[in-house]
Every structure is written in structure tokens, then in C-alpha cells.
Amino acid sequence: MKNPARSRVTVPRRAATSALAMLALFVGHAGDAASRARQPHLVVATLPGELKAAQAEALWRPFTRETRTVVDVVTWDGTLSQLRQRLRARKHDWSLALIEDTTLSVGCGQGLFLRTDASARNKTANASDGCGVHALSVDLALTWDASKLQTAPTWADFWDVARHPGKRGLRCDPRGTLEAALLSDGVPPGDIYATLATSEGVERAFKRLSQLRPYIVWWSTPEEAARILTSGAALMGTAPTAEILAANARSKSGPFGILWSPRLRVDYDWVIPAGSGTNTNQGKTLEDWATAPEQFQAMAIRYPSAPLPSDPATASGSSRKSGDQSSGTKDVAPGTALANDTPPPLPISSVFWRDHLPAIETRFDQWLAER
């Protein structure tokens, strides 16, 4: 009788080979994970949407390949209130953050960001504050669903819900929104800030907003601005042109129009938050990388605020008849083309909003709370 304790269990050679392969695969994955865990990590806060995807492709993946430093990207709404909450909760580990120029102007004065030594690093800092380095400019324009509205609307049409019934997407922030309200009321672009600098001008803008209040769908990030339009939640809206151009490239149902003039320009900066608990030198290294000429060019291609010149149908401002494929390019929605003589955008004034944002923001929050 055989001793059970000494009995030999035979394992088929194929099964043994498979088991060894699985073990090797497991060990390999574990090694990769361990190797990644040992790599240095930096955390960047940016805005969600196409902008985040463009930065990952044009900035962070090349940075990781070059330095073997992992860049973890988180999204935020770009407000100082969210930043303060993280500071109070001691959850602040951001090495670098993307922030609107006008928000930077306020936060820099409150000591929320490190000062930038632009001359030492051969960069252009925010001229009025010295806390940030220019990252990119984003154009904010009137956009619309071209499948429902074939003729390009004006800013006055944006407010005319009787002639063009439907919802309107607007930024839930006085910056850009009050400027749009005054444009719709016939104020020339060059007179916008002179008008807003008076109490009568501010009340004029809020009166226009009150006329549109029942039809407004609010957005807070570029991603939300585009989604409101592409989901059919609004007929027209204000939105970053780069987000709409990207949506047009992906769209299967039809393109969305862009009113190129007048439009607004929003500047964004890279900042190193104060008190983040991270290595400041690492943040500066990442900031230098993101603002190098090569990366600026890569971002301009990946996240363009206007149609790229490589597309003759959009670059020249020509509008071909539907179905004409002679140039080998896609049909262009009415208003999507940018003409060569299109006036430049109106920059949203960081100087004006640095001085007036706290007071006007309080007025805006009070207006929102009204019924």
C-alpha cells in the first residue's frame, strides 16, 4: 500500500508552463508598479475638458519621457475659494496650477502664490503682480447650434429670445458675462471697461442679465460650456473657441458656429501655490518646461483658439456650399470660418478686474440669489 504522504502529484507540463508564465507576468506588473511608485511625482491642477487632454499630450507626457518624473493631473474650477479650502484642510500638494489672469491678480495680493522671478528665469511674469508666468490665451465667443440656426447671430440676437427661442449658456461669473451683456446692449468693445467702471454701467449690465435670467444655463468650466451646447441644452452660449473647434472635429450630428467678432480673450497663467508642502524647485522646473517655446508651439497646435492655417476652408474665411468637396476639406458651419480681416479679440482686463472683482462679484452673487 502506498504511503499517501509520499505520493507524487504529477502536473502536466503545459499547465506548469502556463503557471510560470502567469507568475512571470504578475511579477513583471508588480515590478512596473513598484518602479512607477519609486519615480518622483508632481501634481498639476488644471481645468477639465479638451484643455486638460491637450496639456497631457503636448506638455506632461513629453515631460515624463524626458525626465522620468510622473505628472499627476487633477482638475479644479479655478476659484480661490477651492484653493483656500484645500489649504485649510492641509490637502494641498499642487506643484503647479493653471489660473485665470484676473483671479491671479486677486490671489497674488492675498499671498496665495509664490512670487515669480521672471528676469532670472527669462520668462514673462504677470506684469501687474509678479506671481505667475503666462501659460496660454483662450478666446471666449458667442457660439450656437448651426443645425438649428443657419444664420450667424449677433450679440443682440443672443439676448433676443423672442426671435430666437431657446436657452443660453453663460459663465457663472461676472468676468466675461458682464462684458457680453454690454456688447448685446450696443456698447462698442473699446468702451466696455469705461462703462463698467461706472455704477451706471454696472447696473446697465445687470439689467440686461435680468432680461435673460429665465433662459440662462450656467457653466463654470470650459468643459461645461461646450457640453451645454453639444448636449442640446442651449441654442446659443458663450464658450471657449478651442473647445467648440474640438467638438466640431468630433461631431457626427453637425457643427457649431462661432461668432469671431467681437469676441473676448482670457489669459491664463501658471502659478506655484504658496504653502503647498511640495518642492518649490520642482514646481519651477515644471513651470519652465511648460512655458518653453517648444511647448508653447505644441499647445498652439493641440489647443488652437482659431482654425489652423492648414485648413484652407477655415483659415481663409471662405464658406463653401454644402457638399462641395473640391478642396478636400470638411464643410464649414456658418460663422466657423475666421476671415483674414477679423478684428482681434477684446482682452478681458486684468487691471480692471483686479480693482473691481471683489465688489462686483459680491453684487453678482446677490443677483444670483434673487428670485
- Per-residue pLDDT reduced to its tens digit, 66-83: 999 999 999 999 988 888
- Per-residue pLDDT reduced to its tens digit, 207-259: 999 999 999 999 999 999 999 999 999 999 999 999 999 999 887 666 899 99
Regions in the chain scoring below 50 on pLDDT: 1-11, 15-37, 120-122, 125-128, 311-332
Q: What does the pLDDT read at residue 157?
A: 98
Q: What does the pLDDT read at residue 39?
A: 62
Q: What does the pLDDT read at residue 218?
A: 98
User: CA 329, CA 313: separation in Å to the nearest integer?
Assistant: 7
Which residues does 39 contact at the CB level (< 8 Å), separation at least 6? 68, 69, 70
Cell numbers linked to 201: 454701467
User: CA 93, CA 72: separation in Å to the nearest integer?
Assistant: 11
CB 363 within 8 A of CB 202: yes
Range 105-144 burial, b when 16+ CB lie within 10 A, else e: bbbbeeebbbebebeeeebebbeebebbbbbbebbbbbbb
Residue 28 burial class via C-beta count within 10 angstroms: exposed 0-12, middle 13-18, buried 19 and up: exposed
Q: What does the pLDDT read at residue 30?
A: 44
Q: What does the pLDDT read at residue 320?
A: 33
Task: Compute the residue count for the chain.
Answer: 371
